[in-house]
Amino acid sequence: MGPHPFLVMLGLLFAANALFHAGQLGWLDTLPFDPLRFAANVVMLMIVVVGGRIIPAFTRSALVAGGKSSSIQPAPRLEAASLAAVAAVVIGDLTVPDTKTAGVLTALAAVLLTARLGRWEGVRALGMLLVFVLHVGYAWLAVALGLKAAFLLGQLPWAANWLHALTTGAFGTMILAVTTRVALGHTGRPLICRF
């Protein structure tokens, strides 16, 4: 049995951090890839994995607790394809960054993540802000990848800041959303957003 996938991803984050600092300190003349973008890609992969587990589960639980039915079902092929596509984006950024090939991989990942999110009944959870914000955070992943694809494939200037959509939009929203939900749940308080 190999190492847990999250230990691997944490190890990759450690390696990216070490490479960045080694480059800044002049210990390495050239780096084979951008360690900061690689770190962002690893965090994106983490969100894809964790989000794929908790968002449908939390949504289903919230809908049932609210007296609504839920038809959320696993879609193993779509799940596997989504994860493979995002992994391909990470590999593309390592091997063929900022190319049309990377753009095609990114566009495919954006489409698959959108299809994945569409199955999780986020619209039905619109009145349940504690759950709905998870859908918003995950949607930022697809938006960011869509912007990146538009920039790489069409050099569209309005898509040039795709990295902000990924880091501020997806990372920021998901961190706040998951932290809030987990803090309430693990302290035994009602899973209700009040404001």
The answer to whether residue 127 sits within a structural domain is yes
Reported as a single tens digit per residue, the pLDDT across 70-109 is 888 889 999 999 999 999 999 999 999 999 999 999 999 9
CA nearest to 59, candidates 46, 49, 69? 69
Position 36, amino acid: L
Number of separate domains in the chain? 1
The answer to whether residue 180 sits within a structural domain is yes
| Whether 127 contacts 93, CB under 8 Å | no
The answer to whether residue 24 sits within a structural domain is no
Rounded CA separation 139/118 (Å) = 9
The answer to whether residue 167 sits within a structural domain is yes
Rounded CA separation 124/80 (Å) = 25
The answer to whether residue 10 sits within a structural domain is no
For helices 76-95 and 35-65, what crossing angle results, to 10°?
160
Position 193 scores a pLDDT of 59
Task: For residue 192, count CB atoms less than 10 angstroms from its CB and return exposed for 0-12, middle for 13-18, buried for 19 or more.
Answer: exposed
End-to-end CA, the chain: 46
Mean pLDDT value across the chain:
90
Regions of the chain with pLDDT less than 50: 195
Full residue range of the structural domain in which residue 145 is found: 35-186
The answer to whether residue 106 sits within a structural domain is yes
Alpha helices of 119-172 — where are they, by DSSP H?
Answer: 129-154, 162-164
How much is the pTM? Answer: 0.89
